[in-house]
Amino acid sequence: MDLLHLLNQGLFWFFVVMTVVSAIVVVFSQRVIYSAFALLFTFFGVAALYLFLAADFLAASQVLIYVGGILTLIIFGVFLTAKIYTMDIPQQTHQRYLALLPVVAMLGLLTYGLFTADWKTVTPAAEPTTKDLGQLLLTTYLVPFEVASVLLLAALIGAVRLARPMQEEDRD
């Protein structure tokens, strides 16, 4: 039992390191394609960390949306961009010192929160959380749920509008 616990601890730290290291690669890599693939590990690591928090639904949606959806799109975007390997994409930082101001302010606020927050300990649910979420989504959070569908509809209408080149309009 103790050995298993130790192994689990090790596993946890493995995913922590993986997430952080790959996130660093995403930010500092000079090539977009490397960033994109490193992002895969970041997203995956985050999903694993959600599992450690007993948030199974969150982990599943992380894999579905981020790994399965957004990342795939990013990689397709990279593939469809001509000469991505040789293209010199400028990656500079402008107004470094001005940006420091909000960054320090934000860091200060968050650190302040870290030390003053009243941290709550939650006993993990006995069952997977998806069931409760399903109940909540269709009772308490019904209105946001339905608004979300209209939000997606707005995205769809917008995509339809933007995707039709001008000259194809109104010809026939």
Partner 1 sequence: MTEQFTPVVWMLLSAALLTAGMMAVAIFLGPRKMNPVKAEPYECGIKTEDPPLNMRHPIRFYVVAILFIIFDVEIVFLYPWAVVFRQLSLVAFISIAIFIGVLMAGLYYAVKKGVLEWR
Partner 2 sequence: MDLSRFNLITIATPLVLGAGVLLVMLVDLLSGRANRRPAQLAALAVVLAAAAVCLATWNTGGVSFFGQVSGDGFASFFNLIFLAVAFLVILAGPAYLERNAIHFGEYYSLVLVSVMGMAFMAAGTNLLVIFLGLETMSLALYVLAGFNPARQSSNEASLKYLLLGSFATGFLVFGIALVYGQIGSTDLARFSAYLAGAGDPFAGYMGAGVALLLIGLTFKMAVVPFHFWSPDVYDGAPTVVSAFMSAAPKAAAFAAALRIFYAPAESLGLPWERILWILAALTMTVGNLSALNQASIKRMLAYSSVAHAGYLLLGILAGNELGAAGILFYLASYVFMNVGAFTVAWMVNRRGEGRYDLGDFAQLGFRRPLLAAMMSVFMLGLIGIPPLAGFFGKLYVFTAAVQAGYVWLVVIAVLNSAVSVFYYLRVMVIMYMRENEALKDVDRIPATFAAVAACALMVILLGLIPGSVLDVARAAVASMP
Cα–Cα nearest to 48, from 13, 2, 1, 4: 13
44 contacts which partner out of partner 2, partner 1, none, CB within 5 to 8 A by kind?
A: partner 1
For the record, the structure tokens of 159 come out as 């995509």
Burial code (b: 16+ CB inside 10 Å, e: under 16) for 97-122 equals: eeeeeeeeeeeeeeeeeeeeeeeeee
Write the CB contacts of 76 (distance below 8 Å, at least 6 apart in sequence).
none
Cα within 13 Å of Cα(32), Cβ side: 19
88 contacts which partner out of partner 1, partner 2, none, CB within 5 to 8 A by kind?
A: none
Write the CB contacts of 161 (distance below 8 Å, at least 6 apart in sequence).
none
142 binds partner 2 (CB under 8 A): yes
Residues making contact with partner 1 (CB under 8 A)? 5, 8-9, 11-12, 14-15, 44, 47-48, 51-54, 56-57, 59-61, 64-65, 68-70, 72-73, 76, 80, 82-83, 124, 130-131, 133-135, 137-139, 142, 145-146, 148-150, 152-153, 155-157, 159-160, 162-165
131 contacts which partner out of partner 2, partner 1, none, CB within 5 to 8 A by kind?
A: partner 1
**Which of 12/141 has CB closer to partner 2?**
141
Per rule CB under 8 A, count of chain residues that contact partner 2: 33
Q: Which of 116, 123, 124, 126 lies at the binding interface for partner 2 (CB under 8 A)?
A: 116
